[in-house]
Amino acid sequence: MPKKENVATATPAVADHLAATLRRLRAERGWSLDRAAGETGVSKAMLGQIERAESSPTVATLWRIASGFRTPLSAFIQPPVHHEKPAFRSAGALRDRPASDAMWVAPLFPYDAQLGFEMLELTLAPGYERHSEAHLAGVVEHVIVVRGAMEVLVDGCWHTLNEGEAVRFPADRPHGYRNLGSEPAVCHNLICYTGIAVPEAARPAADDLRGVIGKSVPGR
Ligand code: MN
């Protein structure tokens, strides 16, 4: 059985959207739970629990699932926002916990296949640390700190980024994020999938999924 996380789970609306997205992606690919487990490296039992909204995965598990399905992370959090029209977005309204980690994610601009990137606002709670496995080959990340200070693990070294500082790094190798301070750290995370074949089918279809993200702000 997967280890029970010792922190609160994601909000039910997010867990439901995640469950529905995973079920739909698996149906579109025609993958059995066995095949999905093989592609993602996430156990069949865990995938089944996520599909039934019985379990909140960690962000690391979410990324493993996204990479296995060759899908951007934001597909599991919110439907895409099309770029043909102006889109005004509010991180304050979008911020929520998509996973059981002490990290809040606001999908400012979810993945758009034609533009090839997603832009997230991340809030790392004090003490939060996450090691990320390699994303798909060619993925490049940008981290721009907008409040507080944090560290980014690049090429095996932790680098401190203060407010207004930024880093771009190849994310198709192990990397990490942490906040050793006593205040939340907020950054923008621009993830580029340029040149990577992300299936169009990864796009959520229904507009009625919009607004599933509730408002939930970490202690501030
Ligand atoms: Mn990453």
* CATH number of the CATH domain containing 173: 2.60.120.10
Is residue 216 situated within a structural domain?
A: no
The CA 141 to ligand 1 mean position distance, Å, reads 7
SS3 169: strand
Q: What was the pLDDT predicted at 80?
A: 73
Q: What was the pLDDT predicted at 8?
A: 45
Q: pTM value?
A: 0.77
The CA 127 to ligand 1 mean position distance, Å, reads 18
> Are residues 130 and 47 located together in one domain of the fold?
no
Range of the domain at 20: 12-78
Q: What was the pLDDT predicted at 30?
A: 96
> Are residues 33 and 120 located together in one domain of the fold?
no
Helix (H) or strand (E) holding 175: strand 175-178
> Are residues 106 and 190 located together in one domain of the fold?
yes
Type of residue numbered 190: L
CATH code, domain with 71: 1.10.260.40
Q: What was the pLDDT predicted at 219?
A: 38
The CA 142 to ligand 1 mean position distance, Å, reads 9
Is residue 5 situated within a structural domain?
A: no
> Are residues 179 and 101 located together in one domain of the fold?
yes
Q: What was the pLDDT predicted at 9?
A: 56
Q: What was the pLDDT predicted at 100?
A: 83
The CA 132 to ligand 1 mean position distance, Å, reads 6
- Return the DSSP state at 141: E
CA 2 to chain centre: 20
List Cα–Cα distances, 205 to 14, 86, 95, 201, in angstroms: 16, 20, 22, 9
The CA 177 to ligand 1 mean position distance, Å, reads 8
> Are residues 64 and 129 located together in one domain of the fold?
no
The CA 124 to ligand 1 mean position distance, Å, reads 14
Average pLDDT, 10 consecutive residues per value, the chain (220 residues): 43 83 94 96 96 88 90 83 87 89 92 88 96 89 98 97 98 95 97 70 37 34
